[in-house]
Amino acid sequence: MLCENCKERQATVHLTKIINDEKYVQHLCEKCAREKGEFDFEFPSFSLQNLLSGLMNLDAQPAGQVMGFAAQKLQCDNCGLTYAQFGQLGRFGCSRCYDAFGERLVPLLRRIHGSTQHLGKIPRRAGGTLKLRRSIEELRQKLQEAVAREEFEQAAKLRDQIRELEEQAREGENNEQ
Amino acid sequence: MNSKQKKLSLKVSEWLRSPGPDGDIVLSSRVRLARNLRDIPFPYLASDSQSAAVLEQVRSMIPALSAAHGPVRVYTMDELDSLERQVLVEKHLISPALANNQQHNSAVLLRDDEIISIMVNEEDHLRIQCLLPGLQLERALQLAEEYDDLLEAKLDYAFNERWGYLTVCPTNVGTGLRASVMMHLPALMLTKQASRILQAIAQVGLAVRGIYGEGSEIKGNLVQISNQITLGQSSEEIVRNLYGVAKQVVEQETQARQILLNEGRDRIADRVNRSLGTLRYARLISSEEAMQLLSDVRLGVDLGLIEEVDGSILKELLLLHRPAYLQYLTGRNLDSFERDRARAKLIRLRLAGKQLHEREE
């Protein structure tokens, strides 16, 4: 049977509607049925969430069951999402979930990104003194290199810069408290 | 709402009007940053008052955002009807997910030239998008980050030292950055080189797909290439990698075009001119057919085989013949037959040099 609408494709969707005791029958192809919105095709789609929970469950091997059980009980005290729910949804509930689930996230994120440390942009306010501390680390590195090359004048300059930044970082941390 | 009044501008977005660098092959560059507010449940879990508060906070930033590079306006999803939301999707200004989300105080902030759009209460609290014509990823990143900094000056972002910017989905955490380029690759498709190259791209941690988002087919020889990894690399690094790959693909496509010209000039000239003929005279045309023919004509223009058509018109048409935009333009609902007719007419008029903005009576 051909689709009543386009008369081109096979009718594979057969709709029977009963409105006020009157019966209407329609034979449509999938495309026309979808366009008419007569039928919502809800295929069980394989989503990113399925994939993520698959990745997470890799951790729950038989030998690790005890640990797995403990992890399931982890819960975020801010939004109430449990680790088990996170496993099903593949989504965090709020920013504090990251702290609540802590080290349990490491294998998952490593599998997704191949890394477990953010190296990009640091926001001005929310980053607190992180930016300063990263700069201090960089300068320390340079200081060591300068010392190794016996460039003591340069080293002294770097040392002063480091002190200054450390001072700023201390002030910043005091302000945060 | 009042159906006579159009809320949205029918204006063609900046990224569709001008070509930009490598604009014969790269149609657009896009950067989006996922950001969330500290401690507030993410949109899918937030209560109505919580998501309303998020929207309110973002709204309060409009004066500061507008002062930066031109006026920014807010549209909430519940004030737009489904057609208007779909128009924004077709213009790539909001995601289908945002368009379908009217419950969570979802909204979009749009800059007048439509280069910047900021989605509120989508999957994440905030998604800052910058869309530019041609291959200019670094510029897009720079612009998006400017708006990011403006917002962060007042809003309390969710960020931690280890995981970076905290997002709803673990696949976005870190930089929260998704960078993508939309490329027109007719010669690679015609010469059957595309799948080989696109597979290679997938092996270096980039995703390739059709232009209408995840899972969409490749239509009109348009592909979108984007980064997958967001953690452990800086935003600049991610953007540079993608730029490098895009440049390579540009080179491959350019070579393939040259081969087409050298080895089969008459055949390709015949094909693209036939396509132009069909577009000029067709009275009914489906979206799929239109995309394929427009892609041919665009290739003809790029190769110098068609001189009387301006390449930029084709870039607009490739996107603006979509169903919602057509219906918005004609001011009424159209069934699929009427859309095919309106589409054919729109293309005919535009190829004859007429403007789109005149309303049909």
Chain B residue numbers with beta carbons less than 8 Å from the beta carbon of A123 are 148, 152, 157, 159, 165
Is A121–B169 a contact, with Cβ atoms under 8 angstroms apart? no
pLDDT tens track for B25-79:
999 999 999 999 999 999 999 999 999 999 999 999 999 999 988 999 999 999 9
Percentage, residues of chain A above pLDDT 90: 21
* B141 closest CA partner among B128, B150, B153, B152: B128
| pTM summary value | 0.81
| CA B265 and chain centroid, separation | 32
Candidates A93, A108, A121; nearest CB to B42: A93
Burial class (CB in 10 A: 0-12, 13-18, 19+), A148: exposed
- Option in B36, B148, B170 nearest A95 (CB): B36
pLDDT tens for B106-148 read: 999 999 989 999 999 999 999 999 999 999 999 999 999 999 9
Task: Give one word for B215, left, alpha or beta, with left for phi > 0 and alpha for psi -120 to 50.
Answer: left
Q: What is the pLDDT of residue B352?
A: 85
- Nearest CB to A114 within list B158, B163, B229: B229
Backbone torsions φ then ψ of A111, nearest 5 degrees = -65, -40
